[in-house]
A and B are shown apart, each in its own frame.
Chain A
Amino acid sequence: MERRGKVGVMVCVMLLLLSPVMVFCAGTQEAKDASAPVEIKVLSPYVGTHSAAEFFDWALKEFSDTHQGTIKVNVEEVPGEQNYVDKIKVLLSTDKLPDVVFSSYNLLDLCVEAGKTVDLTPYLDADPVWNSGFDPATLAYNTFDNKVMGVAYFKRLIGYYYNKELFQKAGIKKPAETWSEFFQQLDMLKNAGITPLSLDTGDSGWITSLWLSSLVGTSGKVGNDFMNRQQPVNYEFPEFIKSVASIQKFFQNYTTGDAVGGKYENGAVNFFSGRTAIIANGTWMVKDFSDPNKAPEGFADKVGIAIYPEGGVFMSAAKGAFCCSKTKSKADAAVEFLKFLTKPETQQHYFELTGESPESPKVEMTDVIKEKYPLVADLFRLSKDAKYFYQYPQAAWYANVTDQLSVLYPLLANGSLSPEDFARKLTETAKNN
């Protein structure tokens, strides 16, 4: 009786632990077939509500249709930009990186440093058509130690948007050409009873940091060099500190009550609802002005676009997609996929779908785009006369430094942190890397 009982217990426990396995066990190993397509694994952040999700679905379908039987693309969907970074880091630390990775937040740098990326230079040399489609600056930006490690299919072109109606009400004729004029316009808006700027501090203070970068990036050669540098460590120089002081003034005098602590969407809705007159953001925002779920009807007609005072604009080459395959056959297949994503025709399609500016100089501003995204066309035109080009922090600075921005901006805003100390804290944080 006892023994049966004992065995009974053991069997029950085992069964219960194993039953999920028995019921949901994965299928048996597929037979290896020499003529089977090469399978590559791609991790994609372009899912859900991401602005590039539609494009990516299209790209996958196109590629799969044209490579039937030769290359099979297995996609793992990874929603959320930070989740994407976290997952890649786990895969990196366990040496299980996929074949294609899309860089963001310095992932490319990290994987290159760890020695896991595939050198794309031989592939570029072997395919002059593909090579010539790129803007050399993009390739240079993705080059480490004379080896091209990544390829991009877009650039980030960022100016700022303003509410034409509110500008008129305040008596402003056109966007400011100098910073002192800009400050004057802020006062004019305030005097007309309008809150001038949308700002934020959450999620690294995206909107606010665009203004900070522009102030620094247009302050002269030193500032401009700094805003084009990768992973700077020292933030304590006069141009930077002066710019931080301006940001402090923005927070204290020229923005909404929920800017401190607000995230991007709070700033955006303040702009859409007409509470504020100015918001800095990239060309992907243009679609939102006509989206009934996001903005009130007819809002798109009220919006104008400008480049920053002193002729500044963000024209960032982007760190692109890269390959971490371990075998040559997979690397070849992955490069085929990268070639497809980055060729000018695909970039054209991306441009038309999202309004994000393409990387290749070969992609033209067609009439379709001019009609669909007149603001983007305006920005292109304006940036031809721009004097200063620079990057934004999320693309260039250390991850822990941009994260610090979220907690330092509130202190700066309420005066408990001085601009000098702000710069000092950023430097200290950068040194931790």
Chain B
Amino acid sequence: MPNNKLSGKITKSFSQILGYCFIIIVICMSLYPLIWVLMSSFKTTYQIIDAPLSLPKSISLYGYKLAFEISPFLLFYRNSILVTLFGVLGNIIILALSAYVLARFKFRGRNVIILILSVSLILPATALIQPIYMLVIKTGLYDTKTALCLVYIALGLPITLYILLGYYKTIPKAIEESAMLEGASFPQIFFKIIVPISSPGYATAAVLQFILCWQEFLFAFILTTGNRSRTLPIALQYFLSQFNTNYTALFAAIIMFVIPIIVFFIIFQKQIISGLTDGSVKE
């Protein structure tokens, strides 16, 4: 018996160590691209291509300066922030509402509605370009951030839907039932009880929607004409040219592009975790 316990312990520690190693490998593999882009943003284009693994000779901010000179970087940054902010808020709000009724109420046609909404998960972007372009022009929203917000809310529809559907289903029905017994109305139950305990689900969906809005290029490009509504992904294109790609400025721009998302994610991570540990509220 003692032998079994000991070998059991050894295999347990062994698998633990294996697990740790695996995680460390994953972390290194994920951080490497970012670190490489950062290092490269301090090198000249020639150095980047000629010796990509070499360390930069000095921390030169030339690329960062250039990014602002070559493209309307600051303006596009501001636009990205605005479009993403409202794109995320709008998306979470309307789907918080819809996913709730779809998750909770078994009415006729519910599954059909979910299936139809899921089609947005698969429809190729090339099919969407022309009709949306015409729609945006006809409603007078061409070249506005509003148009982008609305399109992004729609683009993120399926993923947020699935996440919130999954999350709402983990809320025990007992909570709503007891509230109903106490005479609470539908909106009261939803806004005062469901919403607060669903914040981790909202936060998770928000993170993914943030990434979508921040990175989206195709519609930002097609639905805008001047610079007043254009977003960051378009700025990155300014550094790419068949014979003149400036990798220094491009990588500097990428670093500046990626930092907000990382920050947003770190903040929301805390929100998700704290919301979840409060999950005991459910009991």
A and B touch in the complex (CB under 8 A): yes
For chain A, the count of residues having a C-beta within 8 Å of the partner chain is 50
Q: With A and B bound together, what is the CA distance between A419 and B81 in angstroms?
A: 52
A203 at the interface (CB under 8 A from B): yes
Binds A, one of B8-16, B21-29, B88-96, B255-263: B88-96
Query: Does any Cβ of A come within 8 Å of B17's Cβ?
Result: no
The answer, yes or no, to whether B105 is at the interface (CB within 8 Å) is no
Known: A80-B237, A269-B46, A293-B248. A20 touches B242 (CB 8 A): no
**Does the CB pair A26–B44 fall under 8 Å?**
no
Task: List residues of A (274-298) whose CB comes within 8 Å of B's CBs.
Answer: 281, 284-285, 292-296
Given A94-B134, A293-B45, A293-B46, A21 and B222 contact (CB-CB distance below 8 Å) = no
- Interface positions, chain A 80-106, Cβ under 8 Å from B, are 80-81, 83, 86-87, 90, 93-94, 96
CB closest chain-A residue, reference B229: A24
Contact stretch, chosen from A46-54, A306-314, A403-411 = A46-54
| B-contacting 9-mer, from A6-14, A138-146, A148-156, A422-430 | A6-14
Contact between A94 and B130, CB atoms less than 8 A apart: yes
User: How far does the alpha carbon of A150 sit from the alpha carbon of B57 in the complex, in Å?
Assistant: 49
Nearest CB in chain A to that of B245: its residue: A265
- Asked if residues A79 and B234 are in contact (CB atoms below 8 Å), the reply is yes
Shortest B237–chain A CB gap in Å is 4
Chain B nearest CB: distance from A270 CB in Å? Answer: 9
For residue A422, give the distance in angstroms from its CB to the closest CB of chain B: 23
Q: Which of the segments B113-121, B142-150, B163-171, B174-182 contacts the partner chain? A: B142-150
Chain B residues closer than 8 Å to A268, beta-carbon distance: 243
Given contacts A5-B185, A24-B82, A79-B234, contact A269 B50 (CB under 8 A): yes
**Structural contact, B245 and A19, CB atoms closer than 8 A:** no
Query: How far, in whole Å, are A62 and B86 apart by their CA atoms in the complex?
Result: 40
| Complex-state Cα separation, A66 to B140, whole angstroms | 33
Q: Which residue of chain A has its CB nearest to the CB of B226? A: A76
* Of the residues B50, B144, B249, contact of A24 by C-beta under 8 Å: B144
Task: Decide if B186 is an interface residue (CB 8 Å cutoff).
Answer: yes
Q: Which of A206-246 contact B (CB under 8 A)?
A: 206
Instruction: Note all chain A residues with C-beta closer than 8 A to B44.
Output: 292-294
Chain B CB within 8 A of A168 CB:
no
Residue interface mask B40-54, A partner, CB < 8 A = 1? 000011100110000
Q: A48-B238, A76-B225, A294-B45 are in contact. Are A93 and B130 (CB under 8 A)?
A: yes
Please judge, given known A-B contacts A5-B186, A79-B234, A93-B130, whether A48 and B149 are in contact too, CB under 8 Å: no
Asked if B188 is at the interface (CB within 8 A of a chain A CB), the reply is yes
Total inter-chain residue pairs, C-beta < 8 Å: 120
From A13, A24, A296, contact of B145 by CB (8 A): A24
The answer to whether the Cβ of B241 comes within 8 Å of any Cβ in the partner chain is: yes
Give the bracket for the number of chain B residues in contact with chain A: 35 or more
Is B137 touching A94 in the complex (CB atoms < 8 A)?
yes
Assess whether A181 is interfacial by the CB under 8 Å rule.
Answer: no
Using known A-B contacts A13-B94, A94-B134, determine if residue A20 contacts B238 with beta carbons closer than 8 Å.
no
Q: Is the CB of B227 within 8 A of A49?
A: no
Asked if A367 lies at the interface with its beta carbon under 8 angstroms from chain B, I say: no
Q: A81-B241, A292-B44, A296-B46 are in contact. Are A48 and B71 (CB under 8 A)?
A: yes
- Establish whether residues A83 and B237, one from each chain, have CB atoms under 8 Å apart when the complex forms: yes
Which residues of A are found within 8 Å of B239, using beta-carbon distances? Answer: 48-49
* Contact residues in A for B248 (Cβ distance below 8 Å): 293
A385 at the interface (CB under 8 A from B): no
A17 near B50 with CB under 8 A, answer no
Query: In whole angstroms, how far apart are the Cα atoms of A296 and B242 in the complex?
Result: 21
Is there contact, CB below 8 Å, between A264 and B94? no
The 8 closest A-B pairs by CB, nearest first: A48-B238, A5-B187, A79-B237, A269-B49, A49-B244, A79-B238, A80-B237, A20-B146
7 further interface pairs, Cβ-Cβ under 8 Å (given A13-B94, A26-B144, A94-B137): A2-B187, A13-B97, A49-B240, A76-B226, A90-B129, A94-B130, A294-B46
Residues of A at under 8 Å CB distance from B?
Answer: 1-2, 5-6, 8-9, 13, 16-17, 19-21, 24-26, 47-51, 74, 76-77, 79-81, 83, 86-87, 90, 93-94, 96, 203, 206, 264-266, 268-269, 272-273, 281, 284-285, 292-296
The residues of B with any CB-CB pair to A shorter than 8 Å are 44-46, 49-50, 70-71, 82, 86, 89-90, 93-94, 97, 129-130, 133-134, 137, 140, 143-146, 149-150, 185-188, 221-222, 225-227, 234, 237-249
Q: List 25 A-B contacts (CB under 8 A).
A: A5-B186, A5-B188, A8-B187, A9-B97, A9-B187, A13-B93, A17-B150, A19-B86, A48-B240, A49-B240, A50-B244, A51-B243, A76-B225, A76-B226, A79-B234, A79-B241, A90-B129, A264-B242, A265-B245, A268-B243, A269-B46, A269-B49, A269-B50, A293-B44, A293-B46
